[in-house]
Amino acid sequence: MTQLSVKRVLLVAAENDALHGAKVGGMADVIRDLPPALAKCGVIADVAMPNYGFLAQEYRAVHMVDIEVEFEGDHHTVVVYRMPRPQHKDDIAVVQQDIVDDSVAQIYLFDHPLFNHQGQVYCNGSADRPFAEDATKYALFSLSVATSLVKELLPRVDVLHLHDWHTGMVAMLRSCVDEFSALKALPCVFTIHNLALQGIRPFIGNDSSFTHWFPQYIDKLNSIADVSIFDPRYNNCVNPMRMGIVLSDKVHLVSPTYAREVLIPSDHQKGFFGGEGLENDLATKVKQNNLIGIINGCVYKDAVSEPLADIASHAELLLQAENTIIKWQAKTTQFSAIDSIAIARIGQYKHVLLMDSILPELRQVEREGDRFLLTYVGRLTEQKLLILLQPFNDPQGQFSAKTVLEAILESLKRQQPGGVFMLLGSGDEHIANVLQAIAVRYSNFVFLHGYDDVLAEELYQCGSLFLMPSSFEPCGISQMLAMRKGQPCLVHGVGGLNDTIEDNITGWIFKGETLASQSQALVDRFNQVVKLYGSETWQQVKQNAAKQRFTWDVAAKQYIEKLYVSH
């Protein structure tokens, strides 16, 4: 295949932030931003994804075709809707039934009751049955996509591009079931956004198991299935992530550093997250020259970043935070304790800003740094916050803190008495409870339990320093969004964070060989960095951060050259 022959690709994914309500993580940003970047290179990128029970209706997508499949020993009808990719997710397109513009990227929405979980992308499965509901719905989704392709119900594409474990079974059907062998002529790329989530389920003996989903194929699997569909650690389980890795032609990691890290076995006790049991399969891809690391991009509207905010903008941030909490509460019957604490802390911070405006000369002399704002925007997961919530052992006895987060808050209080840490995120309930308890004890910590696009943008705009202490980070987008607004970052030097932040030049990096050393390194580095606040060094780092550009235009060209074109 030559570059000129790649005219159309099909992105198969669980998320897509081009549409309202279809985003959970960074994958959604990629599926939103990659198609227009590829279009500039002359490649049309269509998207196939579940409808989740509401997208087709909200966007007035039109019925395209019904697909008949055999699943769980019964006949099922999966309805496919189509719509042109909207320029903005607020655009509600009216699609004409009989007119399809082949020059425009399309979104194909696969609809079935199993894909509908109260308007949510993923199910909150029980701990004793991880991935059960999601694995079942994505098994049916994968079967539907593979069927639509082999029966030529979708327009012809030149490359099949699968994303994360949710789509790994498309690669399995393509390689292991003769009924779908025609798809082998279609080059297949598999992108890993997060290797830690693999969708592992039993092979047999469960209503969410391989044999329950595909009883018609159990006696028809090719021999390659024996060395490609089973988890290497649990031989009685299937692993969709492994299917995608082993059975795709090329495997893509979303940053060069992450592509190297996954070749090393994980050691969670030491705080290292690498191959997660699949390092041998990934090493095989390296030997075949079929494992590629390409950093994700970010969308930049202007040539230069916007300046950091003034006091008035901080007041607007706090007002937005209050309004966001009120909006969250509209969906509940009782005002939550977490939100009550946040409202109280916001009120205290507003008082500080009021005193700034009334007595500016007092601020300049006695209270320099009152407006220092430490920020975090992201999901509440162990991946993101494990280091922050580690027990903190202070060898010099300077802190009374029990956790790394508390040590940072105490350091912030000493060095920037009016400084505040505002953390926006939702996710793990246990982590939320721990953060709530810390917000009670520390007046300079505002925990905003949820997510809101406008509020996130305000935090990127107003923040003095963005904190991103992820234990592993395949790529990361939050650090790019903060830098885009001229906010420098303090990050753990792993994955895409290592590829996007240059220590002491465009931000600051901490590292460590164990969880304990990572924890100490974060606190030490934070102390060092905050001491620089307001200095010429700080201003230079801030300016350098604002100038950084990780564009999708560059990434798209690499996708075409390294992933889509056969060499």
Tens-digit pLDDT profile for residues 328-366? 988 777 778 899 999 999 998 887 777 766 765 555 434
Residue with tokens 């079942």: 136
Q: Which two tokens stand for residue 391?
A: 């027990």
Using one digit for the tens of pLDDT, what is the confidence trace for 201-252?
A: 999 999 999 999 999 999 999 999 999 999 999 989 999 999 999 999 999 9
Is residue 424 predicted with pLDDT exceeding 70?
yes
Distance CA 419, CA 54 (A): 43
Classify residue 180 by its DSSP letter: G
| pLDDT value for 1 | 41
pLDDT digits (tens, 9 = 90+) for 250-279: 999 999 999 999 999 999 999 999 999 999
Phi, psi of 44 (to 5 degrees): -90, 130
Q: Does domain 3-44+115-297+553-564 have CATH number 3.40.50.2000?
A: yes
Query: For residue 463, which phi and psi values (nearest 5 degrees)?
Result: -65, 150
Residue type, 293: G
The percent of residues above 70 in pLDDT, for the chain, comes to 93
In this prediction, residue 311 has a pLDDT band, given cuts at 50, 70 and 90, of low
Reading the block at residue 557, the tokens are 């060209």
Supply the pTM of this predicted model. 0.92
pLDDT of residue 62: 95
Residue with the two structure tokens 């099922």: 76
Burial of 75: CB neighbours in 10 Å, binned 0-12, 13-18, 19+: exposed
CB 422 within 8 A of CB 375: yes
Band of the pLDDT at 398, cuts 50, 70, 90?
confident
Residue 97 has pLDDT above 60, yes or no: no
Per residue in 165-191, pLDDT (tens digit) is 999 999 999 999 999 999 999 999 999
- Domain spans of the chain, in order of start: 3-44+115-297+553-564, 311-549
Give phi and psi for 233, each to the nearest 5: -95, -30
Domain over 311-549 is classified CATH 3.40.640.10: no
For CA atoms 64, 67, 72, 74, the dihedral sign is positive
Alpha-carbon span 61 to 54, nearest angstrom: 10
